[in-house]
Amino acid sequence: MSTWEATGVGSHPGEDHLEAIRVVFGEVPGLPYLPELPARGVGADMVGRTAALLVDLPVEVQPSGWRLSDRPGRDHQRAVDHLRRDLDGLEEIGHDYTGPLKLQVCGPWTLAGAIELKFGDKMLSDQGAVRDLTASLAQGVAEHCAEVRRRLPGVTEIVLQLDEPGLPGVLAGTVPTASGFGRLAAVEEWRVEESLRSFEAPVVHCCAPGVPYALLRRAEVRGVSVDAALLRRRDDEELGELFEAGMALFMGVVPGRDTRLADPGVVARPALGLWRRLGFAPDGLASKVVLTPACGLAGASPAYARAALAACRKAARVLRDDPREG
């Protein structure tokens, strides 16, 4: 993992997927990823894009959002077409790449809180529907990873990222019903743990407050991806336990929207400060922490998106070269 250094969360601005892929491979070569471009519209958004991977669970867009449907229609096909074009671009630009590659999909709980049943509330309201969704997603993701490996035979490993911004709300019982007038019941932690084991060693990304670190550690995920600005001193003990369990921490240290970027030493400071407070050996930092933007870059300018990734990579060198600096 020590060569990963830096990566992105997933989304990029604009509609030029080829250029976005070029930027990723150029700026974060240690752990490049397949970027997502939600500005392209229906089916390019996080939920629709992931729904295109579901096996035997077609979806469509209604005024209220995504909903299960009887058969694949235009909206489903649009999402499939976006993903196919992205994979074509990935193959074109990364055909001779050798190394790890990150793929992002919406996690089952955020997905269940976003997709509605054909007749009724959100999938999250029905435990059986969530089980079916998780199984369908796990199968679809496995097939997706296999296709990427076929297209890019030089990929040495696939790092799967599950985007779960909705997970804290799922556990707290604050996800609104489809009508918006009520709240769906809180989900027991064991159900979430069980579902995450359906995926092969995922990194779970959650840029919302209240990341359930202990739950994720028990689920034995590969790593956790968080916004460093949301970390509090009270999180230190749980983060230390993550590291001791052999997990990686992806720290969002650069804003996701255009701003003036700080010097590498300043960008690296949250990681350096956390590591010092935990009292771990300095030379272990670079192998346990991967620097990223705080969240997706869809709301940034293309020039800033490139600069943000470059800033993460430069700051990662501070962690590697002299972890006592900063």
Q: What integer pLDDT is reported at residue 269 of this predicted model?
A: 96
pLDDT, block means (10 residues), the chain with 326 residues: 85 97 97 97 94 95 92 93 97 97 98 94 96 98 98 97 97 93 96 96 95 97 97 94 96 97 96 95 91 97 98 95 54
Which CATH class name applies to 17-321?
alpha beta
Question: Position of tokens 């909705």?
Answer: 166
Pairing of strands 248-254, 223-227: parallel
Rg, C-alpha atoms of the chain: 19
Please count the other Cβ atoms lying within 10 Å of the Cβ belonging to residue 173: 11
| Cut 0.85: pTM above it | yes
3-state secondary structure 50-100: HHCCCCCCCEEEECCEEEECCCCCHHHHHHHHHHHHHHHHHHHHHCCCCEE
State the chain's maximal CA–CA distance in angstroms. Answer: 58
Q: Domain boundaries in the chain?
A: 17-321
Please count the other Cβ atoms lying within 10 Å of the Cβ belonging to residue 128: 8
